[in-house]
Amino acid sequence: MSSADRISALRGMRDVFSAEYASQRQVQDRLEQHLRMHGYQPVDLPILENTELYLRKSGEDIAARLYEFDYRSRRVALRPEVTASILRAYVEHWQDEPLPLRIQYSGPVFRYEKPQQHRYRQFTLSGAELLGAAGPRADAEIIHLACSGLEQAGIRDYKLVIGQSDVLEGFLHGLGLRKQLVNFLLRNMENLRKRGSDAVVASLQEIYPEYDGDAATAVGSEMAGGAQSQQLINVLREMTDNEAHQAITDFLRSLNIRIDSNREDGEVVERLLHKIREDQQGPKLQVALNFMQRLGELAGEPMATLRQAQDLATDFKLDGRALDELGRTLRCLAAYGSIAGDIELDFGLNRGLHYYTGLIFELHCPTVGGEVVQICGGGRYDNLVSILGGGEATPALGFAYGIERIASVLKAVGGAPPEEGDVCVIPVADDDFAAAFAIADELRGIGIATEVSIDGRGLGRGLKRADRRGATLVIIIGEAERTAQTAILREMRNRQERRVPRAELAGLVEELLSADG
């Protein structure tokens, strides 16, 4: 078959073979056991969900990254993460269960993103969700669980980065900015720090062309007609929408300008009112960007950075309750004892802030060559149960590990869990198969992975294949061994062979594999 006739894996997808799969599976098993020991019960949820579940949770900006399609007039999508499915299941099945609920999960997810190192279009997440628990104690439990799980998997050189989304979101909403502008600024907090204000302003002008980055010129040039006109505009700005709409209508009628209730005349008033409201967005945007710049610079040792944030909140006359709660979370976390990694508080951290509420955090780990990768992320999302149709607001938070990334880091730093050795049994002739199968069954019965060579192409070929496949031990059984109730045991690493009594074989194999591991 020519190369043109071959069918290759889809771009961004990859085949995972034996050794790599074993490493990932072992990491996954350790994390799942760690979560079970802390009371988090496993669930298995569908890979395919209604597209609306993700659009409602994360907004339209996630649509471009969904593997989404229409099937029999229904929009469905491969899940891009699991939290939405957990909360959908809570609304559908668990609302009568006593709270808090501690849930864990593992499984594949799919995101249509540009493939690159450590980023694939299919990957595996393992995570935990704590539903129905509010406050610093719950926040500290989730952070500690994520850190200790990573250590249980074999990684101790990591950085825990903690952020707080309420400070920025509360400030932006307090300014009275349009929702579209608030969402844009939340999504671009990290871009402001990484790419600078000019890049963010350039993107901002795509959705708000009137803004040019200067508070002085951002104030409605088209509507500036003199001091008296400006006074009228300021009065209208202080009114509610209904009050301003009625005032404009009454003013026009006083000038004998007829305003009917038909759609065209109503739209004239609406456009005028919209222009007045829009006219004050520019100065507020300037204030917002200045605040974001100062907030994004606050990163470092937790308690010192927290004090700096409290000073900033005082400067801008912000409600300090979110920062007070963050301080309590840090103290609760310290009560668990020291963690292996470094801790940093970073108010520029951004994890899709349009649905996170309060605490957010990430775990980062260096690899060979100095590259740092994120291997875990999470936070609090108290509004999601209501957004997804829950009967009442329910506090919720959680995190997820990227299994492939953890396994890659372990391999790069030489800390991968040791692979369990396995065994190949080679019967010399057809008459030796029954004895070979009996040996294999005995070894499997004590938990040792064992295969029987079935190609029948001779002992030499069988040994070569076992060597290429990476077998740790080979057991050879022929007519002489069957007659004497023995077997030949070959250690593939040093090519040493010994004849072992059949009754002692399983014990010796177990001992050698244990010593090799």
Nearest Cα neighbor of 214 from 201, 224, 227 is: 201
| 152 located within any domain | no
**Same domain for 111 and 13?**
yes
Q: Phi/psi at 443 (nearest 5 deg)?
A: -65, -40
**Dihedral angle of Cα 420, 425, 426, 430, to the nearest 10 degrees:** -150
**Same domain for 388 and 452?**
no
Query: What does DSSP assign to residue 359?
Result: E
| 122 located within any domain | yes
Nearest Cα neighbor of 348 from 321, 389, 386, 308 is: 308
The single residue listed with the structure tokens 């010994």 is 498
**Residue 244 contacts residue 254 (beta carbons within 8 Å):** no
What per-residue confidence (pLDDT) applies to 228? Answer: 47
Adjacent-strand bridge partners of 41: 103
**Same domain for 501 and 396?**
no
What per-residue confidence (pLDDT) applies to 188? Answer: 81
Q: Phi/psi at 342 (nearest 5 deg)?
A: -80, 155
Domain C-terminal end among 235, 252, 284? 284
The Cα 364–Cα 239 span in angstroms is: 49
**Residue 126 contacts residue 104 (beta carbons within 8 Å):** yes
The Cα 498–Cα 360 span in angstroms is: 59
| 199 located within any domain | yes
What per-residue confidence (pLDDT) applies to 465? Answer: 85
**Same domain for 447 and 510?**
yes
Cis? peptide before 501, omega within 30° of 0 = no
**Same domain for 109 and 223?**
no
Per-residue pLDDT of the chain (517 residues; tens, 9 = 90+): 566 688 999 998 999 988 888 889 999 999 999 999 999 999 999 999 999 998 887 655 567 789 999 999 899 999 999 999 999 999 999 999 999 999 999 999 999 988 887 789 999 999 999 999 999 999 999 999 999 999 999 999 999 999 998 888 888 888 878 777 887 888 788 778 777 777 788 777 776 666 666 543 333 333 334 454 555 555 655 566 677 667 767 766 665 656 555 555 566 666 666 555 555 677 788 888 889 889 999 999 999 999 999 999 999 888 889 999 999 999 999 998 888 899 999 998 987 546 788 999 999 998 867 789 999 999 999 988 998 888 888 999 999 999 999 998 988 876 655 454 589 999 999 999 999 999 999 999 998 989 998 877 788 888 988 888 778 999 999 999 999 999 999 999 899 999 999 999 999 999 998 876 5
The Cα 290–Cα 293 span in angstroms is: 5
| 251 located within any domain | yes
Domain C-terminal end among 266, 284, 302? 284
**Same domain for 205 and 126?**
no
Read off the CATH number of the domain in which 51 is found: 3.30.930.10
Burial grade of 282 (CB within 10 A; 0-12, 13-18, 19 or more): buried
Domain C-terminal end among 284, 304, 326? 284
**Same domain for 397 and 472?**
no
Q: Which domain holds residue 491?
A: 423-516
| 209 located within any domain | yes
The Cα 320–Cα 315 span in angstroms is: 11
| 457 located within any domain | yes
**Residue 108 contacts residue 82 (beta carbons within 8 Å):** no
What per-residue confidence (pLDDT) applies to 189? Answer: 83
For the chain, what is the domain count? Answer: 3
| 81 located within any domain | yes
Burial grade of 7 (CB within 10 A; 0-12, 13-18, 19 or more): exposed
**Same domain for 15 and 121?**
yes
| 482 located within any domain | yes
Nearest Cα neighbor of 50 from 31, 72, 68 is: 68
